[in-house]
Amino acid sequence: MKVIDNYNFENKKALIRVDFNVPLNEKFEVTDANRIEAAKPTIIKVLEDGGSAVLMSHLGRPKGERNPDLSLKHICAKVSDVIGVAVKFVDDCIGEKAEKAVADLKSGEVLLLENLRYYNEEEKGDEAFAEKLSKLGDIYVNDAFGTAHRAHASTTIVAKFFPDAKCFGYLLAKEIEAIEKVMRTGEKPVLAILGGAKVSSKITIIENILDKVDDLIIGGGMTYTFIKAKGGSVGDSICEDDKMDLALDILKQAKEKGVNVHIPVDVLAADDFSPNANTKILDVDKIPSGWQGLDAGPQTLENFKKVILGAKTILWNGPIGVFEMEKFAKGTIALGNYIDEATQNGAFSLVGGGDSVAAVKQFGFEDKVSYVSTGGGAMLESLEGKTLPGIAAINE
């Protein structure tokens, strides 16, 4: 793997694709600087070598127009604060103005370019636009996992203009290694925990990981499609009736491959999708009309605990209850606690995919698992077995 440690940046300008697509409030202040913090080690490595860093990113969806609300100038102060170096800003990302700002950059300095998506050519993967970007650095570093699944000019196409001078930053390298551990090199038994609402959004992941895992926990809203397919009553629980045959096929494939599938046996059911609903514990396959399962039940959690504590490699993708409501968050919190315990006992744990990352952050598990992925879509496509264009471009 071509990683940043293979290069010395002394007197070199590193063109670094970062993912600074961060949330801003109405005063244009950064409300979550995690992505900036994540890029810091890569930027510091370049500066400590005696090089300079040219940072490029997108922010929001300006759709090829110069929307002042989505200017990266708003985050400049925050980037300076996080990195500990005063970051310069130029209000373009290609052309004379950008080229002059880069030419004036001295060793140890950092320059942030304007929003890449002010140009439609960025998302189109336009080669001429990528070539203009390539004039702004001596070495290309991709450290933006969150956009690695897009063949955009700055994430993929630009790499071809650096045939012998391109590498992964620390963050992207860590993401690749974490996924490799789950999918290929992890110590057995390997466990995947898949939650979330729909089977349809996880089909390709399930089919791809059945060859790699020893145990599969299915939780969340997906549960009810499997239970109904097996003849159970799920009441008003979320269910994809058109995916029931698929659910049965997944169970059949798992059995043929020797994968142990663990599905909830009881649930915390509610008579309304509301924090004020009446609740009771019910068998997962005996939920009456007017009731819906919104969290895992106590016996299910006991069963899951045994499986999790027995695992050596754990992937967690998706919550197992409606954790956004406190009444239905207990199952997801319990899962986090079990994974924390397994991790302390030596297991490798990777959390990835939108809602599970949100849950991990909300309940304070970020430092209690081995790795939390920074890229939702990119992470999911990796688990589906797809080659991400931003990663392939560096490896070519």
Considering the candidates 198, 305, 312, 361, report the single residue annotated as catalytic: 198
Task: From 196, 245, 243, select the one nearest 222 (Cα to Cα).
Answer: 196
Query: How confident is the model at residue 354, as a pLDDT?
Result: 64
Domain extents for the chain? 4-172, 186-383
* Domain pair 4-172 / 186-383, same fold: yes
**Cis geometry, peptide bond prior to residue 41 (ω within 30 degrees of 0):** no
Query: Which amino acid makes up residue 322?
Result: V
Residue ranges of the binding site for (2R)-3-phosphoglycerate: 35, 117, 150
Question: Annotated catalytic, 184?
Answer: no
Q: Is 220 left (phi over 0), alpha (psi -120 to 50) or beta?
A: left
SS3 (DSSP) at 52: strand
Report d(CA 120, CA 134) in Å as an integer. 17
CA-to-CA dists, residue 112 to 28, 139, 154, 246, angstroms: 17, 16, 14, 48
pTM as predicted: 0.87
What residue numbers does the annotated binding site for substrate cover? 19-21, 35, 58-61, 117, 150
Q: pLDDT per position in the chain (396 positions), as tens?
A: 899 999 999 999 999 999 999 999 999 999 989 899 999 999 999 999 999 999 999 999 999 999 999 999 999 999 999 999 999 999 999 999 999 999 999 999 999 999 999 999 999 999 999 999 999 999 999 999 888 989 999 999 999 999 999 999 999 999 999 999 988 888 999 999 999 888 888 888 898 999 999 999 999 999 999 999 999 999 999 999 999 999 999 999 999 999 999 999 999 999 999 999 999 999 999 999 999 999 999 999 999 999 999 999 999 998 999 999 999 999 999 999 999 999 999 999 999 876 888 889 899 999 999 999 877 778 888 888 888 999 999 998
Please name the amino acid found at residue 210: L
| Residue pair 140/15 in contact by the 8 Å Cβ criterion | yes
Residue in 12, 35, 166, 330 annotated catalytic: 35
Phi, psi dihedral angles at 155 (to 5 degrees): -100, -20
The closest alpha carbon to 132, from 54, 72, 236, 187, belongs to 54
Q: Which of 305, 354, 361, 385 is catalytic?
A: 354
Active site residue 336: no
The binding site consists of: 19-21, 35, 58-61, 117, 150, 202, 293, 324, 353-356
Find all residues with CB under 8 Å of 227, minimum gap 6, and list them: 234, 263, 284, 285
Which of these is catalytic: 108, 232, 377, 385?
377
- Say how far apart CA 292 and CA 325 lie, in whole Å: 15
| Rounded Cα–Cα distance for residues 288 and 267 (Å) | 12
What does the alpha-carbon distance between residue 143 and residue 156 come to, in Å, rounded to a whole number? Answer: 12
* Strand-strand pairing, 266-270 and 279-283: antiparallel
| Binding-site residue ranges for ATP | 202, 293, 324, 353-356
pLDDT value of residue 377? 77
Domain 4-172 classification at class level: alpha beta
Between CA 283 and CA 287 the distance in angstroms is: 7
Known active-site residue 35? yes
Among 62, 155, 187, residue whose Cα is nearest residue 375: 155
Q: Which helix (H) or strand (E) holds 202?
A: none
Contact predicate 46/52, CB 8 Å: yes
The fold adopted by the segment(s) 186-383 is Rossmann fold (3.40.50)
